[in-house]
Structure 1
Amino acid sequence: MNFNLSKESVVASRTDIENAFITEYLPSADGDAVKVYLYGLYLSKNIAADVSLAEFSKNVGLELEKITDIFKFWQEFDLVTFTESPFAVTYLPISANYARARKYKPEKYTEFCSMLQNLFPSRAIGINEYTEYFNIMEIYSISQDAMLMIVKYCIDKKGEDISYRYISKVAKDFGSRGLTTCENVEAELNKYVTKTADIEK
């Protein structure tokens, strides 16, 4: 015997989100990652039928590869288990007491961290700030040198006491537009310089 909710009942019901997701994990994710997580959570709690990756992609308006990358991202936080073939996602319980930072090989960003700190000689960069930059580079595939260029641009524009949240916002904008290499980041920044010079004439 099968027990299912009607479409109307599903719409009228609700999907609860643990506060730990908001406090511990949301700050490390971009909008697409949050959208995919929440839609998947909704499906896991309300939809009995299987949903294909193609259907999921259509419903959230994101490319298939982007969705798989995002679920891999959440899997690294131990929030889900994920397989591509067959497409299957299992949501794991969240606990603020056991929240884990995303796993990175320390040697991967050693040089980046050193060069980044050199851009801020008057203050020490904290773990949360480093982690934010690591996550952005991983999610958007921004090269380390390109990320350093973006950070330097923000410092030149706003000063060394700039909030890393501002830098994060700028970097995510670049990443969302596919500006992920030194070459195209430099080209974009040159456009800004040219535009500013024209305005000041």
Structure 2
Amino acid sequence: MNHFEMIRNNDDLSVTLIENIFINHYMPKAPGDFVKVYLLGLKYCQSNSLSAISDKVIAKSLNLLESDVIKAWKYWESEGIVKVESPDEESTRINYFNIASLMLEGKKLPSKKSVEDKNTNLTREMYKAIEYMFSRPLSTKELQIINSWIEDLFFTPQLVTLLVEYCLGKQKKDFNYMNKVALTWYDKKIKTYDDAMSHIDSTNTKWANYYKIMHFLGFNRQPSKAETEYMDKWLDEYKMSLDMILEGCRKMTGLSKPNFRYLDTVLKSWHEKGYTAPDQVVDDRPATKQSPEEKDSKYDYDLIQKKLREKMWSDKK
């Protein structure tokens, strides 16, 4: 069998082919740093190098942050001209599509004007909705934070509006808090309105369980990070029902100060024994044994009352 290879002795003298479709339709509206990442990746695609190139190396080559490189891949994937695959945690495969072939298969070219007009209208409506929720104009700093969600995290205007509405519903009006929520959503790969609604429903249910457990233990406050980690373990890792956890809380009724570490020990023991319902815990209690004397002993309450009356009369005399 024949194997073919182009010998390149000097990388600077080689050529990287770029489709005009990319230059004319995709490059103008893309962030500059993302274009640099795309072009460098395209060069690697067309070279004979079979060695893996990490995002860290790409970031260093382009004088960018590694997080910016990751954002670039997500951007181009959302544009449909790159596909990112992660067969395992240690490796990632970046697949470049031939854009002309995609056009022949029916992919439509992005219309810069229509996209910009649509985004402009949606963004304008988003700002109106947020200012209505705050009952005041947004400050320059607040506008910058919102804009960073759209440009850096690729949030849609609908997703941004939902995020602000969600935070205000929790009586959190500080944009620094909202920014933390936005970063959390980004880390959890929340990209659409439906993704966010599903996450909110799940979070609300979880926090409702948190407060039920805290209240049962006598705490009238928000749980600490360490306490939520314990409860997450019981609910998510152990898959315990709330009733089962509350049964464990009852074990600490006599303690002056409830202790999450002790409760964790109890619930871990039940989990290892395979208990899934409170009645299994009750059945597992060791039976109390009565001594022969206790079994035979019977109290004659009539005789006791008679002796008490006699004593009372004798005291009066």
The alignment's TM-score, normalised by the length of structure 1, stands at 0.50
* More contact order relative to length (CA 8 Å, sep ≥ 6): 1
From the CA coordinates, give the structure whose radius of gyration is larger: 2
The alignment's TM-score, normalised by the length of structure 2, stands at 0.33
